[in-house]
Chains A and B, each alone.
Chain A
Amino acid sequence: MFGRKTAPPADGSGEALRLEGVRKIYGTGDGRVAALDGVSLSLPAGSFTAVMGPSGSGKSTLLQCAAGLDRPTEGRILVDGAELAGETEAALTRFRRERIGFVFQHFNLLPTLTVMQNVTLPLKLARRPVDRGRAADVLRRVGLGERLGHLPAELSGGQQQRVAIARALVARPRVLFADEPTGALDTRSAREVLALLRETVRVDGQTIVMVTHDPVAAAHADAVLYLADGRIVGHQTAPTAEAVAERMTHLADEVERQRVPSGVAGR
């Protein structure tokens, strides 16, 4: 199966994320669209995976379902062995804040809170003890040790994204999901952010799943999953930017080849 890594993870701590037959259908009747059409995957702890695909391939939906921001129509999702279940938003929120961290394209820092307040907010909301020393440490590691009292609007885009990463890391998530984390950044800031993500994987054994459309960003990951029409259509380890770009260029043809026979049979 695509995306299933059979090799044992480097640190031996097991599986961080598992999706089993996840489907997500939008709309009803003739307007039904399957944004995800039976996605199964398993990612070991301490892995850094990029999810790539053309626009509309379902990569954002995949991220949102896997991260508990949206409920799949069908299938199971397990984060660090715990099944993502629960009907209410409150239940999903509690699940997320114990296990999942996010980084978004547009940072989503609260404009009224300082850097420090933004970073400690998830802990406060989860009623966990707020270790300001650790928060300051994490902020120092992302290079913002001098900016604790600044408001987001006083920082550059790259700095804001690093605050967002610190905010995600401070709660020690099992999996960190990043949705186009460099999409709104200049090349230099983008490279810094990617290096930072890479480092948390190397140093802390953090598990990261990153959705991107940028081959350079994807090249920072250990492995790339290719998504098209809501299905995983390819897998590549130790990617280089050139190889990823090459693969993306031919992805459309590849998908077309895979789809034609099954498409005819299905309809």
Chain B
Amino acid sequence: MTALALRSLRKRAGAFTASFLALFLGATILMGFASMLDTASGTSGTAHETLVTMASVVGGWGLLLVVFAVTSTLTLSVRQRSAEMALLKSIGATPAQLTRMITGEAAVLAVVASLLAIGPAVLAGRGLLALLHDTGQVPGSVPHAFGPAAISMGVGITFVSAVGAALLTARRLARGRIADTLAGTDSGRLTKKRIAFAGLFFAVALSEVVVTVTVMKDEGSGAMATSGQADIFAALGLALLAPAIVRRTASVLAGPLRRFGGAAGDLAVTGMLRRTSTMAAAVTPVILFTGIAVGTLYLQSTENAAVAAAGVVKTAEDKNIETLNFVVIGMVVVFAAIMLVNTLVAATAHRRREFGQTRLAGATPRQVMGTVAVESVVLTVIGVACGSVASLFTIVPFSLVRVDSPMPEGDVWTFAGVVALAAVLTGATVAASTRRVLRTPAIEAVAA
């Protein structure tokens, strides 16, 4: 089975691109921040504390995102190979053997991705330290170090999260019956475990909210430390509930879309109702992207307004903290954006056969594009709506603390900009990858 894992990695490299990219980027971020621990080993006092906090806080929720991204891309790639899995089962592969193959693939990917990530991570760590130098939080005499902590944490965490994600995916797959795997439909019903995890994430998000408005009430900008992460946890919670949300939305929209959307609307609705999990997987990155971006941008603009209202002129240090805030969050948002593109490309490529069958039933390429367009509009709306809700977990408590109002300070155009970016990323990715898939003649597409 290990040999089979290696072979499928080599022969089908394309199928693993999404997981690989998620692992590579995740490892880069993890190692970049973990290298602050190596750097801290030669320091003491405030500088030491700053570096350790940096590594553990930011690295901590970075880890969460990596596990989430890897699980979702890996689930997608395994589901895409459901026919292959069913074939292996039917020729006598036991569930344990399939599990070994999937985890084997993930383990190899994780090792290669984290080793390749060392170079970029050194650069990222240097950049991070340079920012800390500039803000004066760490004396300029402290040099950047990249050593055992960075490498062991980076490789170790990436490896563990990849294998863990693979085990989760494989267990679900191995339990399914062959017939189910071949049927190609799913209702997207939530498992108890999924609901429990979603509840856990919401509980963490809410506790951050409570801590922000009570303990951190008089801490001023210090409240960022607790409120800044609430949106991430809320977004993860909503992402776990995404299948249920997609199903509900699709059944509400079914009437009007069937009536006014023509054949394209009809096909889109049916797809969303009958293949809910796949659709939900595509919504997840949109939720994360919108939630984190909106939350953090308004966090910062509220902070700016509060500083201005206090009549204090912004010090150089304040400005640098702002920059730092943007850099850190920028990395996470870029990560979410790449995951978004990744997931959508992979999900669309998998629909080659479905598109081929639709074309053979009489759909012009335009009608297929129309169906996909309706779907991506609905997915974007759901993702943006959920992401906006998630961002409130950060925005409302922080605004209450800083400007005594649940409404954040800042421009409504910031929100519009994030939404537009999410819509453009989703729309452009889906359109481009669908067009590529449609280039294969229909009769070949169904044969594969």
Contact = CB atoms under 8 A, between A and B. Distances in A.
Interface of A: 64, 69-70, 89-90, 93-94, 96-97, 102, 104, 106, 108-113, 117-118, 121-122, 124-127, 151, 153, 167, 171
Contacts of A110: 354, 357-358, 361
Nearest to B354: A110
B184 A122 contact: no
Given A90-B365, A90-B366, A124 B441 contact: no
- 10 smallest A-B Cβ distances: which pairs? A153-B183, A97-B362, A112-B274, A111-B184, A124-B263, A90-B364, A122-B362, A125-B362, A93-B364, A108-B357
B263 A108 contact: no
B328 interface: no
Contacts of B266: 124
Contacts of B363: 93, 125
B6 to A, nearest CB: 31
Contact of B361 (A89, A106, A112, A125): A125
A153 B367 contact: no
Contacts, number: 83
Contact of B360 (A102, A126, A153, A171): A102
Nearest to A90: B364
Contacts of A112: 184-185, 270-271, 273-275, 354
Contact of B357 (A96, A109, A171): A109
Contact of A106 (B262, B270, B365, B446): B446
B443 interface: yes
Contact of B362 (A70, A93, A106, A153): A93
B364 A121 contact: no
B182 interface: yes
A263 B356 CA distance: 39
Contacts of A122: 361-362
A152 to B, nearest CB: 8
A110 to B, nearest CB: 5
A106 B184 CA distance: 15
Nearest to A122: B362
A6 to B, nearest CB: 33
Contacts of A171: 362
11 contacts: A69-B360, A70-B443, A93-B363, A109-B357, A110-B361, A111-B184, A111-B274, A118-B361, A124-B262, A151-B185, A167-B361
Contacts of B360: 69, 102, 104, 108
Given A69-B441, A108-B446, 6 more contacts: A69-B443, A111-B183, A112-B270, A118-B361, A121-B358, A125-B364
Interface string B432-448: 00000000011100100
B182 A153 contact: yes
A221 to B, nearest CB: 23
Tell me what chain B mostly uses at the interface: helix, strand, loop, or mixed.
helix
Interface string B171-207: 0000000010011110000000000000000000000
B359 interface: yes
Contacts of A124: 262-263, 266
Contact of B262 (A70, A102, A111, A127): A127
A113 B270 contact: yes
Contacts of B365: 89-90, 93
Given A109-B357, A111-B184, A153-B185, A125 B367 contact: yes
Nearest to A89: B365
Contacts of A113: 270, 274
Contacts of B270: 112-113, 117
Nearest to A109: B357
Interface string B265-278: 01100110111000
Residue from the set B270, B271, B443 with the largest chain A CB neighbour count within 10 Å: B443
Contacts of A153: 179, 182-185
Contacts of A93: 359, 362-365
A97 B185 CA distance: 27
Contacts of B358: 110, 121, 125
A62 to B, nearest CB: 13
B362 A64 contact: no
A69 B361 contact: no
B405 to A, nearest CB: 47
Contacts of A109: 357
Contact of A121 (B271, B361, B366): B361
A165 B366 CA distance: 26
A106 B358 CA distance: 14
Interface string B340-377: 00000000000000101111111111110000000000
Contacts of A121: 263, 267, 358, 361-362
Contacts of B446: 104, 106, 108
A125 B263 contact: yes
A122 B275 CA distance: 21
Given A111-B184, A125-B263, A127-B263, A89 B364 contact: yes
Nearest to A108: B357
Contacts of B361: 108, 110, 118, 121-122, 125, 167
A121 B371 CA distance: 13
B274 A64 contact: no
Interface string B244-282: 000000000000000000110011001101110000000
A121 B266 CA distance: 9
Contacts of B367: 125
A64 B443 contact: yes
A94 B364 contact: yes
A125 B267 CA distance: 10
Nearest to B266: A124
Nearest to B186: A112
A173 B179 CA distance: 33
A114 to B, nearest CB: 9
A112 B266 CA distance: 12
Residue from the set A121, A126, A153 with the largest chain B CB neighbour count within 10 Å: A121
A152 B63 CA distance: 42
A109 B358 CA distance: 9
B84 to A, nearest CB: 17
Given A96-B362, A108-B360, A122-B362, A69 B263 contact: no
